[in-house]
Amino acid sequence: MSDATRDDLADLFAGCRAELYSAVIADTLDSFGYRRQVLPRALRPLDESLILCGRIRVGVFMPIFHDDETVNVYENEIRLVDDLKVDDVPVLICHGNLDIAPWGELLTTRAMQLNAAGCVTDGCVRDVARIRAARFPLFCGGFNPSDTKYRGKLMWLDVPGKIGNVEIESGDMIFGDVDGIVAVPQAIARQVVAAALDKVRAENKVRDALLSGMSLAEAFETFAVL
């Protein structure tokens, strides 16, 4: 990934974490005509209080059924994690394979040292208690103590991928909170974030109006936001 690609969204992430949430980003993507950007509901956060926001780094796993000196099962996983930059989020695509846990405590420790912004996988994770204690934002398909060794290998890095119906690429923006995860294509990320911030500020006005006693119908007629 080029430095220009990496830097393109860097200034957005802090503002997104401070003001945005997944629902408003999903609504905004809908308004842009991108209506399949919410990752499967089965992917849940280890800690519902944390927000994940950063730049996708795709890693694609395939099943394996043995390990020997020629397989070198961890080589690409190590390569991906050691190459993480500030605000990167490894998105590990296991095609829904819950028999492997491609992420655990030691990868978390290294990722945090590199100031990565979290991890997403449709596989499982392990070392859950330690990752929660580290307060590292992580979404996964479940928990499983089984290692990838003998079971799966990360084969491709920074290639286009798909989780559920959502197409993702390295460099895209990803945002996750207690409601779920949305992926924002890099080409429209700035426009989507700007529009989402406008929507949040409009929703704040609606909330204030409702708290002052305005009816929902009148608030919607006034602000056209729901």
Known binding-site residues for Mg(2+) equal 127
Which residue numbers belong to the known binding site for substrate? 104-107, 126
Q: Which of 226, 174, 182, 178 is nearest to 205 (CA)?
A: 226
What helix, strand, coil percent values describe the chain, rounded to 5? 35, 25, 40
Q: Which of 61, 148, 54 is nearest to 104 (CA)?
A: 148
* Residues written for the chain: 226
Return d(Cα 86, Cα 114) in angstroms, integer: 6
Which residue numbers belong to the known binding site? 104-107, 126-127
Q: Which DSSP category does 135 fall into?
A: T
